[in-house]
Chain A
Amino acid sequence: MDKQQEAYREEAYELLAELEISLLELEEAPDDEDVIDQVFRAMHTIKGSSAMFGFEAIAAFTHEVETVFDLVRSGHMPVTKELVNLALKSRDQIKHMLNTPNVDSSANEEIIKQLKSLSSDPKISIHEADEDSILEGDSETPISEMDTDMDKGTAPDRSTENMPESDLDLDFGSKEDTTEKVSTDTAVSVTYRIRFRPNHNLLIQGTNPFQLINDIQELGDTTIVAQTNKIPDLFEIEPEHCYIHWDIILTTGQDLDYIRDIFIFIEDNCDIQIDIIDKDGDIEYRSDYKKLGEILIERKDISSDLLKQTLQKQRRLGEILVESQVADSGQVESALAEQNHIKHVREKRKQDTATSSIRVDALKLDTLVDLVGELVTVQASLSQKAFSSEDTELIGIAEQVERLTADLRDNTMSIRMLPISTTFSTFKRLVRDLSNELGKEVAMSTEGGKTELDKKVIERLNDPMVHIIRNCIDHGIETPDVREKSGKSRSGMISLIAVHSGANVLIKISDDGAGINPQKILSIALEKGIISPDTELSETETYNLLFAPGFSTAKTVSDISGRGVGMDVVKRSIEALRGTIEIESEIGVGTTITLKLPLTLAIIDGLLVEIGKEYYVLPLSAVEECVELTQADRDKSKGRNIAWVRDEIIPYIPLRDIFQIQSPPPPIEQVVIVEIDNALIGFVVDNIIGEHQTVIKSLGRVYRGAKEFSGATILADGSVALIMDVHRLCLLAETLERKKVER
């Protein structure tokens, strides 16, 4: 596959994601014309680009769906649940076709058949030409002939405020693509003022002004103001005559001749004046355009003297001009429309310039992050050398390199940050489909979608979140009847909230369902031998049993959840991301699962410690405090691994024992206290070196079995420090302790 086709696929996937979001929005607001337009535009672009890059089957299939949405757009067909279902199904099918180029066409035919039956509903009025296209399923139709004309009764309802197709990021598929016309995307954008004063006989001669205006709208962003001041009263009007004239502001990449061509058949009988009033590429990037008076003078609608006299009245210029009958209100309206149009175009241009972006291969970005990681390590070596040399000049250079490296590191890391909304949006479809499948009514709300997380964290977060949401719908939210009986609304709610918390992001997944019954968890855990009858557990510890391997409260195994292999995997996945998971629940009120995740997986703030003659790193975000551990402290606890911190007992793990280090420990050791699953646990180390910018390197094959270490980092002197996985170390310590007791 060549690069262009690869680019097409990437962009098609993005468009399909947008299409899914728009369709789900449409289901909630079926009359929202903007959303209908979004759906139509996405389909139109997919169709056009598919045809352009040789994906004819996708183009033909999308055409059928697009044709139905053209009917929706023109008001000939309502948005129903069936239509949204079919459209979502079609979107999935297009995605399937993208993934599997030689897909069996029977699925396409089935969907098209269903679309045909939906659109051939006798209650829906379809113009003959379009009816043919839909009912005959003419997949042979060339793409160039697929678009419907405005005057055929299927006119796209493009209001003047609508975003033109030329403004879309992707628009390979506009009508122009298959003709000599070229996309306006790449051309310089120019704003024209078109004053179109038709001859009285325009309409009698059979010219369709809607078609003319539509043709202009096809060229770009337009503002159209019709002037009605020449329309005579009822006694004088010749109804077949045309009395209206138009001021049209058009921003397009097409040149003047191209615009003139639209009027080619009527230009001899009409007064058409086209002026350039703004041009992309002009250095002047003022977002404010000419003042109203300037425009009217430039148009020779008023003289500058009259303007000055009028201005002296110090009232709103437009009102004064109309009241003084210096200008007609239509002229003022038109001038204001021009002012607004240009202002909008310039603001957009400014915004586009500010937010211009390029597409970069994710692998290249990963390489950049790796290189920055190497640089951070080398910079640390340089700083160490410089400080030990006591050469002030060298120290100065090292400090500059340190500052620049820190900036480079932060910038590079920020490039990989993505808003979590990219993941949130996919769950809306999941909630919709699952609730339909289970006969439940569930809505989903999101908050904090702009919160950013490292791309890798987001990628690896998807599966655990899918599982949690499935559980919420399957086990948490009750059926509508049950909810109604318990005084709740029939529709349940799942909310996804993301917030920053220091170097972490908290993601809260809440439902307003039945909640989790701790007694039920305890009895199942007892039944499955996960706990013994005399085990006493706090509420949090009880909920944590849900993460035990093989635990399931579901009485039956369903496709959705309840296989008992989920929540332990979810916990492991979150912990693999150096995150934590917590459950809070109240019977009858609902459940909240909170995921605490690090912002990034590439570079973390660590606490460098020494054990034996080796260095280790603990994630600083988990560290609560550090205390000393003397022989006197050990004596006080009478051989038990506990430390007294401000009259509180904190159990600790002697890492020397775990790592089987034989050399004698220092007289004063250090306990690094870490919070794990809401409990404080200490890790005993020889020395604390201090904070360390930890560039995480994955461990090689030799260390594959050492699950207690999540990676390694290179220190300034070139030596290697292992990064401890505190959760796993705790589990290992528990296992070793249990074995010791059993012996």
Chain B
Amino acid sequence: MNFQMDTSGQSGTITIDEPLTIENVSDMKTIFLDAYKNTNHVNIQFTSLTDIDLNGLQLFCSAHRTFSQAKKILNIDLTNASIFTKKAKQLGLIRHQGCHFEQSENCLWRQQNSR
């Protein structure tokens, strides 16, 4: 799990290669903050995501909201992370409209955005 600036210097990539659970969400938060400070455009890629719990999902929501409010881009590629949507669905996070913290169409949990 790490953050690296892309060679263009215009964006960075967070690579996640381990489960995102209560054990490591603090580390993940640090990585998010690091990315937030260093660039306006962050891509998240999963090499594989075998598990994610409520803490992980909650942190993603927070990060997405923070980036969005600062007009920064947090682009999450859910390839190799089907469990992300599955768990979000189980917890009732998927919805038709986004919350007022973000522009509705950008919300992480909107049906169209979380497929």
Assess A240 versus B25: contact at CB under 8 Å? Given A75-B83, A225-B95, A231-B58.
Answer: yes
Is there an interface contact between B101 and A240, defined as CB atoms closer than 8 Å? Answer: no
Whether, in the assembled complex, B3 has its beta carbon less than 8 Å from a beta carbon of chain A, the answer is no
Which residues does chain B contribute within 8 Å of A232, judged by CB atoms? 62
For residue B92, CB closer than 8 A to chain A, the reply is yes
Interface of B is mostly: helix
Residues of A within 8 A of B58 (CB): 228, 231, 237, 239, 242-244
Tell yes or no: B87 within 8 A of A by CB: yes
Distance to closest chain A CB from B106 (angstroms):
13
Contact of B97 with A210 in the complex, beta carbons under 8 Å: no
A594 at the interface (CB under 8 A from B): no
Q: Decide yes or no whether B115 CB sits under 8 A from chain A.
A: no
In the complex, the answer to whether A210 meets B90 with C-beta atoms within 8 Å is yes
**Given A234-B36, A329-B97, CB of A239 within 8 Å of CB of B91:** no
Q: Which of A75, A248, A332 contacts B82 (CB 8 A)?
A: A75
Complex contacts, A155 vs chain B, CB 8 Å: 90
Chain A 50-76 interface mask (CB, 8 Å, partner B; 1/0): 000000000000000000000000010
Partner of B92, one of A125, A226, A233, A242: A226
**Complex: A237 Cα to B55 Cα, angstroms:** 11
Whether A203 and B86, one on each chain, are in contact in the complex, defined by CB atoms closer than 8 angstroms, is no
Decide: A325 and B22 in contact? CB cutoff 8 A: no
A330 at the interface (CB under 8 A from B): yes
Query: Which residues on A sit within 8 Å (CB–CB) of B28?
Result: 239
What's the interface size class on B, roughly?
A: 35 or more
Query: Would you give the 0/1 interface string for B13-56, flagging 1 where the beta carbon is closer than 8 Å to chain A?
Result: 00000000010011011001100100000000000001001110
Q: Do the beta carbons of B99 and A229 come within 8 Å of each other?
A: yes
Given A75-B83, A157-B86, A333-B97, does the pair A231, B22 have CB atoms closer than 8 Å? Answer: no
Known: A157-B90, A240-B22. A234 touches B63 (CB 8 A): yes
0/1 per residue, A224-263, Cβ < 8 Å to B?
1110110111110101101110101000000000000000
Q: Which chain A positions have C-beta within 8 A of B104?
A: 329
Verify if A696 is at the interface (C-beta below 8 Å from B). no
CA distance A62 to B50 in the complex (A): 29
Determine whether A204 belongs to the interface, using a CB cutoff of 8 Å to chain B.
yes
What distance in Å separates the Cβ of A430 from its nearest Cβ neighbour in chain B?
A: 36
* A237: B residues at CB distance < 8 A: 29, 58-59, 62
Residue from A75, A209, A234, A336 within 8 A of B32 (CB atoms): A234
The yes or no answer to A303 lying at the interface (CB within 8 A) is no
In the complex, what's the smallest C-beta–C-beta distance from B85 to chain A, in angstroms? 11
Quote the shortest CB–CB distance from B46 to chain A (angstroms).
15
B92–A203 contact, CB under 8 A?
no
Given A159-B89, A226-B92, A244-B91, are A231 and B61 also a contact pair (CB < 8 Å)? yes
Asked whether, in the complex, the Cβ of B99 is within 8 Å of the Cβ of A225, the reply is no
Contact (Cβ within 8 A) B93 A226: yes
Cα–Cα, bound, A166→B26 (Å): 41
User: Which chain B residues lie closer than 8 Å to A244 at the CB level?
Assistant: 54, 58, 91, 93
Q: Is the CB of A210 within 8 A of B91?
A: yes
- B91 x A240 contact (CB < 8 A): no
Judging by beta carbons under 8 Å apart, are B22 and A203 in contact?
Answer: yes
User: Does residue A129 face the partner (Cβ distance < 8 Å to B)?
Assistant: no
Q: Please state if A204 and B95 are interface contacts (CB–CB under 8 Å).
A: no
| Chain B min CB distance to A309 (Å) | 19
> A231–B68 Cα gap in the complex (Å)?
14
Q: Please tell me if A160 contacts chain B, counting CB pairs below 8 Å.
A: yes
Q: Does B114 sit within 8 A of A, measured CB to CB?
A: no
- Residues of chain B within 8 A of A329, CB atoms compared: 97-100, 104
Least Cβ distance of A318 to chain B in Å? 8
Say how far A601's CB is from chain B's closest CB, in angstroms.
52
* Beta-carbon contact of B62 and A333 below 8 Å: no
A210 to B63, CA, bound (A): 22
What chain A residues lie within 8 Å of B75 (beta carbons)?
A: none
Q: Which residue of A lies closest to B64 (CB)?
A: A234
Among A75, A232, A233, A243, which residue has the most Cβ atoms of chain B within 10 A?
A233
Q: Is the CB of B100 within 8 A of A322?
A: yes
Give Cα A210–Cα B53 distance, bound, in whole angstroms.
8
Distance of B94 from chain A, by nearest CB (Å): 9
Return A614 CB to nearest CB of chain B, in Å. Answer: 75
A177 interface contact, C-beta 8 A: no
B69, closest chain A residue (CB): A233
Q: Is A582 an interface residue (CB 8 A)?
A: no
Q: How far is the CA of A231 from the CA of B98 in the complex (A)?
A: 14
Q: Tell me whether A213 is interfacial, beta carbon within 8 Å.
A: yes
Indicate whether B66 reaches chain A with its CB closer than 8 angstroms.
yes
Question: Which residues of chain B come closer than 8 Å to A239, judged between CB atoms?
Answer: 22, 25-26, 28-29, 55, 58-59
Chain A residues with CB under 8 A of B71? none
A330-349 interface code vs B (CB 8 A; 1 in, 0 out): 10110010000000000000
Q: Does A131 make an interface contact (CB < 8 A)?
A: no
With A228-B61, A239-B28, A244-B54: A328-B100 Cβ-Cβ less than 8 Å: yes
Q: Is A233's CB under 8 angstroms from B54's CB?
A: no
- Given A203-B22, A229-B101, A240-B26, does the pair A333, B96 have CB atoms closer than 8 Å? yes
A209 touches B54 (CB 8 A): yes
Tell which of B32, B82, B109 touches A228, judged by Cβ atoms closer than 8 Å. B109
The verdict on A226 contacting B91 (CB below 8 Å), with A157-B86, A240-B22, A329-B104 known, is yes
B98 CB contacts on chain A under 8 angstroms: 329
A228 near B29 with CB under 8 A, answer no
**Interchain CA distance A231-B58 in the complex, whole Å:** 7
Instruction: Output the least CB separation between B50 and chain A (Å).
Output: 8
Decide: A228 and B99 in contact? CB cutoff 8 A: yes
Chain A stretch 394-417: residues in CB contact (< 8 A) with chain B? none
Identify A224's interface contact among B33, B50, B91, B99, CB under 8 A: B91
B48 to chain A minimum Cβ distance, whole angstroms, is 11
Q: Which residues of B contact A (CB under 8 A)?
A: 22, 25-26, 28-29, 32-33, 36, 50, 53-55, 58-59, 61-63, 65-66, 69, 82-83, 86-87, 89-93, 95-101, 104, 109
| Given A237-B58, A248-B92, A336-B96, 5 other A-B residues pairs in contact with their CB atoms under 8 A | A75-B82, A203-B54, A213-B92, A233-B62, A239-B58
4 closest pairs, A vs B, by CB?
Answer: A224-B92, A239-B25, A234-B66, A226-B92
9 contacts between A and B (CB under 8 A): A157-B90, A210-B53, A213-B90, A223-B92, A235-B33, A239-B26, A325-B100, A329-B97, A330-B99
Residue numbers of A with Cβ under 8 A of B are 75, 125, 155, 157-160, 203-204, 209-210, 213-214, 223-226, 228-229, 231-235, 237, 239-240, 242-244, 246, 248, 318, 322, 325, 328-330, 332-333, 336
